[in-house]
Amino acid sequence: MSYSAAAALQSAVYARLTGFASLTGVTIVDAVAPGTGTGKFVLLGPETASDQSDKTSGGAEHLFQVSVISDDTGFLSAKVIAGHVSDALVGASLTLTTGWLVDLTFVRAVARRLKEGENRRIDLTFRARVDF
């Protein structure tokens, strides 16, 4: 098992999301600067990786989170953006600088209110299989 494709996977996901026409105008970040975090944006988040090697090749499964955060009153705009994120990533053929992407699938989504209902957050989890 190797974690060496993690940065390559994040870079490819970022490139895919920032280049996806339905997400034009939506800010995509991997960290929120202190004192910011208003409006609507997509946050690349936590990840876990596990060994998926076999006798023929090395591999890893990456479970990674992409969050949609919105300060709109309801969930609708966050859900629309989350749908576009899912459309951009599910089944995408991403080119990695380390390893190669075998499969990219949607696992789950959790929607919740933040800050006493002032903000909305949808955490989408995806599974990426990378071989080496």
Average pLDDT for runs of 10 along the chain of length 132: 91 98 96 81 97 93 98 95 98 97 98 88 98 94
Q: What span, in angstroms and rounded, lies between the C-alpha atoms of 121 and 117?
A: 10
What's the pTM?
A: 0.94
Q: Which CATH class is domain 6-30+40-131?
A: alpha beta
Q: Are 23 and 75 in contact (CB under 8 A)?
A: no
Ordered by start, the domain boundaries in the chain are 6-30+40-131
Q: How far is CA 85 from CA 20, 30, 78, 109, 125, in A?
A: 9, 15, 10, 11, 11
pLDDT in the model for residue 1: 64
Which residues have C-beta within 8 Å of that of residue 108, sequence separation ≥ 6? 124, 125
pLDDT in the model for residue 2: 81
Q: Are 43 and 69 in contact (CB under 8 A)?
A: yes
Q: What span, in angstroms and rounded, lies between the C-alpha atoms of 75 and 67?
A: 13
**Terminus-to-terminus CA distance in the chain, angstroms?**
9
